[in-house]
Structures are given as C-alpha cells and as structure tokens.
Chain A
C-alpha cells in the first residue's frame, strides 16, 4: 500500500501533467491575486469620484476608463470581483457543508429521512436555478448577504445528492464495516472514514459551483435585485455600464471580460480536476 504522502505527490505530478488543470489554476490564481492584492494596490478607491473625468475611455491613468460618476472602472472591477467571489464562495460553502452533511447522513442512516431529503432535493432541483434565486431574493429581500443565501439554497441539492450517492457506494466498503464493528460513533465514521473518500468529486463540484455562483450573483445584481449599489460587484458595475452602453461601451464590456476570466479559470480548473479524478473513481455517482 502506498503511503498518503506518496499518493499526494503522485497526484500532484498528475496534476502538473494536465494542461487544462494547470491553465485553469493559473488563471484562477491570477484572478484571486487581482481581486485581493490588486484592489489594494490601486491608487484609487472604489467610490472615489472625479467629476472632472466622466466617462473617459481607457487610458494609462485609467486602464478601464471611468464611469458616469468619474470612478475608475478598473478599481471598481477589482473590488467588485472581490465581492462577487466572496458572495459566491460563501454561498457555495454553505451549500457544500450543509448539503454534504445531510447527504452523507441520509445515505448512511437510510429510511424515511433519506427518502424525504431526496424528494426535497429533487423538488428544489426542478426549479430553474436563476428563477429560484430571483424568487428567493424577493422573499428574503435584496442585499448582499441574501445573495449568498440564495446561491446556497439553489446549489444545496447538488451537493446533497452527490454526497448521498457517493456515500451509498462507500458505505459497504470493508473499512467502514470495520469501523462500525469497533463501535465508532456515527459522526466519527462519517467524518474520518467516509468523507476523505468522497471528497474528490465534491471538490470538483465546489469549483464549478463557485463559477455558477458568480453567474447567478452577477445576473441578480445586474437586474438590481442582488448586491445593492454603491457596493461594487461585477453585476452592479455591469448594470451601471448598461445605462450608458452606447456612449461608453467599455465599462460593460470590460467588466464582462473580467467575469469571463474568472469563469474560464474556474471551469478549466474544475475540468482538469475532474479529468484527474475520473480514472481514480470509476463510479458515476452523479444523477
């Protein structure tokens, strides 16, 4: 049996050999760096208005130009990226934790609770995601935190179902049986024995989920029901840019490029991860 460390270094080597994963990781890293450090390094603040310089096209001083209030668009995009990423990641994190926990428990215990949870997840899953998110914003009220909540609720069934299906497969493995015989308490079995073995597809799903969350968040904010101005998020800036699209198309366009970069990086990274996981986990536990 190979040790954990050997397995990890082999995984790492395989990862480096996969161009999709590496490219995706690179782009994602770039985006994250830009959102955290880049925003801080910019000379302007996101709400710093300069009425002398409204709607100016991209230049050296303002690489993305300025918007209708004279704010530097690049700064706003970088801060906005930060907000979008945080909102999306928070939502996906909640969905992942709650969904996985419920899915694993439901698969392990079985019975009525399992059936009820799956039916609930199916019902949630049947709603078109964006429509459900929009509905939730109306119910919960507009605002940044609620966007995370909406993303969490929309994405929770996927994690629940995935965790459940994978747990069903792993449940019958000998080491799980052994742990049961040794009277290990159930939460410990779930955490120590089962979770590490089902973590791989869940991680892939988290990556894809964050990308998906960004799309939802920017869509909601674009419509005006998500993050509320003046807090910048990528969707808010795009909504802004929409107002004067004919006169200053770069605002909306370049913001979209930023979103696309983030999505591209996350999608490629998730794809690469999935390629790595596939030969290791032959079981198709999704859907």
Chain B
C-alpha cells in the first residue's frame, strides 16, 4: 500500500503504530484476566454469600459503564486526585518498558474493566456448572481434598468456556482501544484511524480496518489453539 497521506507510506505508519496498540491491548487483556480470575473464583467459591453478591454486582456495573467514561473517572481519581498515575503522555515500550507499563496502566485498566466484568461472570458460571459434574462427585468419593478437587477437576475444566469468551470479547476490546487512544493521546492504530476519518483519508481508514480485522482473526486462531490444548477431546 503506497498511497501517501502527507508523504508517509501507510504501511510504515501502520508498522509504527501497530505495536503500540498491540501493547495496550495485550496489557488490557492481562489486567482483565487477572481481575476476572480473582473475582470469578471468589464469587463461585463463596456462592450465595456476601462476597458473591458484591462481586456479581461490581461485574454488572462494570459491563454497564462505557469504557471511555470510566477512563475519565479513573483519571479523575487516580491521576488528578491522588497523583498515582499520569493522566497523559504515553511512553512507548520501545523507549522505556517500565515507562510504558506505568503510563499505560490507566488506559489499559479503562479498557480492561468492562471486559473483566464479562470474563468474571463467565468464569463464575462455568465454575458452578463444572462443580456439578459427575466427575467431581467421583473425585470427592475417592477422598481427594477440596483444594485438590477444585484445582484439578473444577477449575481446570471450567477454563475452556472462559477462554472461549475471552476470544469472543476481543472484538469489543479493540473497539475500546480506539477511543481510549484518543483520550490518552496514545499514538496507536486507533488514533491513526480517527485522524484519518476526519481527514477523509479513505485508504488509511480502510487499511486500519483491515488490520484490525486481521488482529481479531489471529486472536481467534490463538484462542482456538489454546482451547484444543486445554481439551483433549478436541484434538483426537
């Protein structure tokens, strides 16, 4: 692709910006997975009790907040209020990995929060469903301890629907990246696309869309591979 807005070839622009978007996106997924593993497990283990209700309510709220709004709340609280994180000025990971982790935390968290909510609900449902399977009763009848049964029988087998949902949610995650990049001034693929949209730069917009599509397809492929690895029934 050699169509040149302002003299720079599109492919070069994309090449520069894609890793940044990739970094932020991946960071967001990591945070979302970490939060949801904790919340989903607690909610399932303490099912019906206070912790479950709290976790589930937080999850429902999390889904209901648009991520670009949440990012402002976070900035308000954690950057302007308590000065814990920077409100602006993303440092590229190639310049400084630690700086990227630090400056990228708020944007990644903003994207991750609604995702974490969806993942947590799925994990909770999956854990509860797996816990009622017959092999869990058999495992307990053999006298395996509750932590052992949870780790090897329940959690391990509940991962499959959980990972599947992560793959399905990538579409929404990438959408969140676009707006968040704008808010935090991150020079990624999303802000490139928005700038190009205002400039009516059709080739760039098209190129960005296709790149995003490719990311989704690649991630889906990766998730499929992980699911096959997790579930022996699929590979044979």
Chain A residues near B (Cβ < 8 Å): 125-135, 137-139, 211, 215-216, 218-219, 222-225, 238, 242, 245-246, 249, 252-253, 255-256, 259-260, 263-264, 267-268, 271, 287
Contact = CB atoms under 8 A, between A and B. Distances in A.
A219 B179 CA distance: 7
A137 B64 contact: no
For chain B, what secondary structure do more than half of its interface residues adopt (helix, strand, loop), or is it mixed?
Answer: helix
A263 B183 CA distance: 22
Nearest to B75: A245
Contacts of B197: 134, 137-138, 223, 225
Given A127-B171, A131-B193, A249 B76 contact: yes
Interface string B71-88: 011001000100000000
B66 A138 contact: no
B182 A223 contact: yes
A20 B156 CA distance: 30
B171 A222 contact: no
For chain A, what secondary structure do more than half of its interface residues adopt (helix, strand, loop), or is it mixed?
Answer: helix
Given A223-B179, A259-B66, A260-B66, A129 B193 contact: no
B145 to A, nearest CB: 33
Given A134-B193, A138-B200, 15 more contacts: A126-B217, A128-B170, A129-B172, A130-B174, A131-B174, A132-B209, A134-B205, A219-B175, A223-B179, A223-B194, A260-B65, A263-B63, A267-B60, A267-B63, A271-B60
Interface of B: 60-61, 63-66, 68-70, 72-73, 76, 80, 168, 170-176, 178-179, 182-183, 193-194, 196-198, 200, 202, 205-206, 208-209, 212-213, 215-217, 220
Nearest to B208: A131
Nearest to A265: B64
Contact of B216 (A126, A223, A252): A126
Contacts of B170: 128
**Pairs of residues from A and B, 10 with the lowest C-beta to C-beta distance, nearest first:** A130-B175, A256-B69, A128-B174, A263-B64, A264-B64, A128-B171, A131-B212, A135-B209, A138-B197, A138-B205
